[in-house]
Amino acid sequence: MLPIDHIGLAVHDGKKAEHLLNQLALATPALPEDLNQQGVRIRFYGKGTRLEILEALGPDSAVTKFLSKRGEGLHHIAFRVANVQLQLERMHMAGFQPLTETPVLGADGKRIFFLHPKHTSGILVEFCQPKNQYHVRFDSCPKLERTMELTGHCIPHNDAPEHVVTAGSLPQLCQSLVLHNASFELSQHNIAPPPVPILISETSTASHFAHTLHERWPNAQLAVLPESSQYTCLPEVLLNFWASVKNG
């Protein structure tokens, strides 16, 4: 399933909602963002799937009309996708009604579009493509490739990738390298580490080989995870790794 990026809640007074969410869930928001194109002030709460508190910025805002007709509450659900233009075309072909011809600017620099609620059981649905995306080549690890693509933050890229994830051979040129369940093979040879940030990803079953490799390549990061939860936990580990490479 596509990840739920956020759930939008429309409120009359964002400050009041802030106080309520603090009482209910010890929540503090990210800095408010005004998105004049959509006529809304936005406060995000939480990590992963976030709450998006929407306040209208003027009488012409879609949120003003929503509040007067339906009152405060659930405004929309947003799914994250890697390619929002492609998703718009898919939804159009499937008979849904995108509310804009092309994706538009959303909060956090995302590109977004909405579907008319009359075709989606009365729920306004948004699709969004995050601003932060990584171009990655996956060598011989199709399951991880599918898992990472589903996060919406990762675009498989074969020609000139920024980053490489490999379960096999070491690449020539890249900004960072993830060795995925490859430490048994690599620990058998005395190879010098490529001069880029490296993450060794391994299951706990093969942790011995990962630690042997790590002793030889001490600058590499190590992510040893139980086999049963490797694919659940790895996306966040990889996205944090690529973010740290990007931020130097």
The span of 59-67, 87-95, 161-169, 219-227 binding ligand MC0 (CB under 6 A) equals: 59-67
Q: Whose Cβ is closer to ligand MC0: residue 65's or residue 90's? A: 65
CA 140 to chain centroid, in Å, comes to 23
User: Is 114 an interacting residue with respect to ligand MC0 (CB under 6 A)?
Assistant: yes
User: Is 99 an interacting residue with respect to ligand MC0 (CB under 6 A)?
Assistant: yes
Structure tokens at 190: 């005395």
The span of 105-113, 152-160, 204-212, 220-228 binding ligand MC0 (CB under 6 A) equals: 105-113
Q: Are 84 and 90 spatial neighbours (Cβ–Cβ below 8 Å)?
A: no
Q: Whose Cβ is closer to ligand MC0: residue 16's or residue 70's? A: 70
Q: How far is the CB of 49 from ligand MC0 (least distance, A)?
A: 13
Q: Whose Cβ is closer to ligand MC0: residue 72's or residue 185's? A: 72
Strand-pairing partners, residue 126, are 78, 114
Binding letters toward ligand MC0, positions 78-97, x by CB under 6 A? x-------------------
Distances from the Cα of 92 to the Cαs of 95, 96, 114, 125, 150, in angstroms?
A: 5, 5, 11, 13, 20
CA 2 to chain centroid, in Å, comes to 10
The span of 60-68, 132-140, 216-224, 235-243 binding ligand MC0 (CB under 6 A) equals: 60-68
Q: If DSSP codes are grouped into helix, strand and coil, which group holds residue 44?
A: strand
> Which residues 28-57 are close enough to bind ligand MC0 by CB under 6 A?
35, 38, 40, 42, 52, 54
Number of other CB atoms surrounding residue 93 within 10 Å: 8
Q: Are 50 and 5 spatial neighbours (Cβ–Cβ below 8 Å)?
A: yes
